[in-house]
Chains A and B, each alone.
Chain A
Amino acid sequence: MSQITPNVAETPVRALITKIGFDGHDRGSRIVAAYLRDAGMEVIYTPPWQEIDSVVQLALQEDVDLIGISSLATDHLIVPDLMNALREAGLGEIEVFIGGIIPEQERPMLIEAGLGGIFGPGSTREDIVECAQRLATSARRKKEQAFERRL
């Protein structure tokens, strides 16, 4: 059996943990970054206040499988814009999840935009890591399919 496609399953998952918008409370994003690192992922961590365009650029350059957004002060309201920007940049395979303070009535909008997970206060390390791994597997599968389509 020929092995033309790189065996991506062997390489560690690459996750970008970041914050967009204007809030800077970063205690949560630091802790989630440490959770994923401890689970064996390669974590690219940025300070808060990233522009949507710079997140897209970083995701492209770092070839990430998933993006984790921390939002504590309504910055989730512009996450659908991030999702659109990713798709427009041809990075639709990347999975995105979010953690923080996400009001009930604003969740459907995020799920509709394609978010793979929403974590509120009190979420456990196990749940977050499990979701990240599941999303990474899904992203890898989508990437492989896209690769095969291009062949």
Chain B
Amino acid sequence: MSTPLEEVNVQPIDAAETKWKDDYTKQIGENDRVIKNMSGIEVEPLYVPDNIMDTELYLEKSGYPGQFPYTRGIYSTMHRGRTWTQRQLVGLGTPSDYNKRVKTMLDMGANAISLLPCNSGFRGVDCDTVPLPLLGTCGTVVNTVDHMETCLDQVPIDQISAAMNDPAPFTLFAFMLNVAKRRGIGWDKLTGTSNQSDYISHFVANHMFYRLSLSGSQRLLIDHIEFCREHVPNWNPMSVVGQHMQQTGATLAETIGFTFSSAIQHAEDCIARGMDPDEILPRFTFFFDVTINFFEEVAKFRAARRMWAHIARDRLGAKDPKSWRLKFHAQTSGVDLTAQQPLNNIARTAVQAMAGIFGGLQSMHTDAYDEPFTTPTEKTAKIAVATQNILREEAHLCDVIDPLGGSYYVERMTDQMEEEALSVIEKIDAAGGMFKAVETGLVQTMCGESSMANQELIESGEKKIIGVNCYEDEEEKIEIATTRPDPVAMQKHVDEFKAFKKDRSQKAVNKALDNLTRAANSDNENVFARVVEATDAGVTQGEIIACLREELGFGHPLIIA
């Protein structure tokens, strides 16, 4: 608007606003329309000062970085003090393939590692029972401690943080503990996360790591947290996953609600086991999706920080500020990426990553542009890391803490996202908590409805996707190129695994499996401790999971009509 400044100053604010509204309505005419964000909240054309200049209210709602309620950031220095951890998810082929790729990523500037297992591992079976073409196409085939030793060869696990993407019964982490033991590295030196250890998110999104029954997974998770508290004190055993909820269709606001309802469930389960909230909550981390809905994502993360501070302090009774801080990793969302005109995905990922940075993340993975159709090649993975490097080094995004704080729009949206998310938590509470709400399918139904609503927006053209429902390139022939693991190397890997099983001490294996069975049937034993021992005795992940399925029940998905 071109109203001169002095004129604004002489007019009372109400008059100025009325004049702007008149001008706006006149000029926009028939082009005006209701715009709603992905969470269904109506977005106004302009936001104006509300109460954000009220200092008392400012302290209550925003505060200073590193101070309750942490809306502006969980640390006083945020990215100006330390930028985020660049943690690229890597998982492909054989353990040697993984080791080679991870070393390249570290040389490129990644400063943490992440290991994603093969899909056969998600389901808890060993490589010798799987059709060869399915092995190692989407993750690394890791079935034993020896395999993990190859994966981590020359990777300084006592100096960099590692994420093991592997929930109950946490065999990958058990392998890693034994690798540390073999190398003489104390478990107190290990830092990182049992990434995606939140079994509830897997149950809801139905899409990964579906191994044990809901109650069996719950038992293993709490055992795992208890074990780490005692033996691996600098490891984060709890990673609460919002990413799965959002990827399966939940809106951004619903995602925050579901994620915190899950976190409340896990925390209360630990407290019921006799753990003090201040012993465990500082080791809770969160894992979120970050989509291209830029301002809504920033508001989501700001609202989430404020909400978690209140939940941890007021609901869970934590007294230590470390328990109140929402530490999170974000992955740029593959859902936004398209197979059409795939190079465009580099631009999309950059926007998503910016939303995550302005949202105040602690750790980030950026997707490669070929994500819609393949496990990234080395070339595309390098571009994904470079995208983070450009944003960090060239774009001056880290100079100011919470740079969008104080934006009338972002502040208002932060409040509205919080209101929406709180109403979701209320709904889950009314259903008897998150465990019950997923057991009965309430959460899955809500996600399904939001997913369908989103699909309808795409079909109607309301939600535009370049190259998909607008700006299509009629000439374009979608070339989905992909690389597959070398079948000869994979067959060799399987043969070596078979030989390993033949050569190991069957007596030690049987004893370890007996111990595991006994622990699973006892209320006083820690099952995860027995998993660690079993892997040391040469028991494979498939054998451990088969044994626990026998004792604790198989995970059967819930079909929602």
Q: A: which residues have CB within 8 A of B?
A: 21-27, 30-31, 34, 45-49, 73-75, 77-78, 81, 101-106, 120-122, 124-125
B206 touches A23 (CB 8 A): no
A31 touches B557 (CB 8 A): no
Binary interface encoding of chain B residues 445-470 relative to chain A, with 1 for a CB under 8 A from any of its CBs, else 0: 00010011001000100000101110
Residue of A nearest to B480 (CB): A103
B480 touches A120 (CB 8 A): yes
A21 to B451, CA, bound (A): 24
Residue of A nearest to B560 (CB): A30
Residue of A nearest to B137 (CB): A74
At the interface, is chain A mostly helix, strand, loop or mixed? loop
Contacts of B467 in A (CB 8 A): 122
B133 touches A74 (CB 8 A): yes
With contacts A26-B206, A73-B137, A75-B134 taken as known, whether A101 is within 8 angstroms of B373 at the C-beta atoms is yes
Contacts of B372 in A (CB 8 A): 101, 121
For window 436-450 of B, CB contacts with A under 8 Å fall at: 448
Contacts of B556 in A (CB 8 A): 47
Residue B338, interface by CB 8 Å: yes
For window 118-141 of B, CB contacts with A under 8 Å fall at: 118-120, 122-123, 130-131, 133-134, 137-138
A18 to B455, CA, bound (A): 20
A127 to B204, CA, bound (A): 30
B451 touches A25 (CB 8 A): no
Residue of B nearest to A43 (CB): B561
A24 touches B207 (CB 8 A): yes
Residue B340, interface by CB 8 Å: yes
CB distance from A143 to the nearest CB of B (A): 27
Most chain A beta carbons < 10 A, residue from B206, B247, B448: B206
Contacts of B340 in A (CB 8 A): 121-122
A104 touches B137 (CB 8 A): no
A78 touches B122 (CB 8 A): no
With contacts A77-B133, A121-B339, A124-B459 taken as known, whether A23 is within 8 angstroms of B138 at the C-beta atoms is yes
Could you list some 17 contacts between A and B, CB below 8 A?
A22-B119, A24-B207, A25-B207, A27-B249, A31-B452, A47-B206, A48-B207, A73-B138, A74-B138, A74-B484, A75-B134, A103-B480, A103-B481, A120-B480, A121-B468, A122-B338, A124-B459
With contacts A73-B137, A103-B481 taken as known, whether A30 is within 8 angstroms of B448 at the C-beta atoms is yes
Chain B interface extent, by class = 35 or more
Residue B210, interface by CB 8 Å: yes
Number of A-B contacts (CB under 8 A): 98
A105 to B451, CA, bound (A): 31
Residue B161, interface by CB 8 Å: no
* 5 more A-B residue pairs beyond the given contacts A74-B119, A124-B459, with a C-beta to C-beta distance below 8 A: A77-B131, A77-B133, A101-B373, A120-B480, A122-B469
Residue B482, interface by CB 8 Å: yes
Most chain B beta carbons < 10 A, residue from A27, A45, A48, A106: A27
CB distance from A82 to the nearest CB of B (A): 12
CB distance from B471 to the nearest CB of A (A): 12
CB distance from B272 to the nearest CB of A (A): 30
Contacts of A21 in B (CB 8 A): 119, 134
A30 to B208, CA, bound (A): 16
A21 to B249, CA, bound (A): 23
At the interface, is chain B mostly helix, strand, loop or mixed? loop
CB distance from B481 to the nearest CB of A (A): 7
Residue of A nearest to B131 (CB): A78
Contacts of B191 in A (CB 8 A): none
A130 to B101, CA, bound (A): 44
CB distance from A58 to the nearest CB of B (A): 13
B247 touches A125 (CB 8 A): no
Residue of A nearest to B479 (CB): A104
Q: B: which residues have CB within 8 A of A?
A: 118-120, 122-123, 130-131, 133-134, 137-138, 206-208, 210, 247-249, 338-340, 372-374, 448, 451-452, 455, 459, 465, 467-469, 478-482, 484, 556-557, 559
Contacts of A49 in B (CB 8 A): 123, 210
B559 touches A47 (CB 8 A): yes
Choose from B130, B137, B452 the contact partner of A34 (Cβ within 8 Å).
Answer: B452
B481 touches A78 (CB 8 A): no
Q: Which 4 interchain pairs have the tightest Cβ spacing?
A: A22-B119, A47-B557, A24-B207, A74-B137
Choose from B137, B207, B481 the contact partner of A26 (Cβ within 8 Å).
Answer: B207
B451 touches A103 (CB 8 A): no
A104 to B476, CA, bound (A): 14
Contacts of A74 in B (CB 8 A): 119, 133-134, 137-138, 484
B451 touches A125 (CB 8 A): no
Choose from A27, A47, A102 the contact partner of B248 (Cβ within 8 Å).
Answer: A27
A77 to B134, CA, bound (A): 7
A34 to B118, CA, bound (A): 30
Contacts of A27 in B (CB 8 A): 207, 247-249, 451
A57 to B492, CA, bound (A): 34
CB distance from A8 to the nearest CB of B (A): 25
Residue of B nearest to A21 (CB): B134
A105 to B483, CA, bound (A): 10
CB distance from B295 to the nearest CB of A (A): 25
Contacts of A106 in B (CB 8 A): 482
Residue of B nearest to A106 (CB): B482
CB distance from B445 to the nearest CB of A (A): 11
A30 touches B119 (CB 8 A): no
Choose from A23, A31, A101 the contact partner of B339 (Cβ within 8 Å).
Answer: A101
B455 touches A31 (CB 8 A): yes
CB distance from A28 to the nearest CB of B (A): 10
Choose from A45, A78, A104, A125 the contact partner of B134 (Cβ within 8 Å).
Answer: A78
With contacts A74-B134, A122-B468, A124-B459 taken as known, whether A22 is within 8 angstroms of B120 at the C-beta atoms is yes
Contacts of A45 in B (CB 8 A): 559
Residue of B nearest to A23 (CB): B119
A106 to B122, CA, bound (A): 24
CB distance from A54 to the nearest CB of B (A): 13
With contacts A49-B123, A122-B338 taken as known, whether A22 is within 8 angstroms of B134 at the C-beta atoms is yes
CB distance from A75 to the nearest CB of B (A): 7
CB distance from A120 to the nearest CB of B (A): 6
CB distance from B422 to the nearest CB of A (A): 26
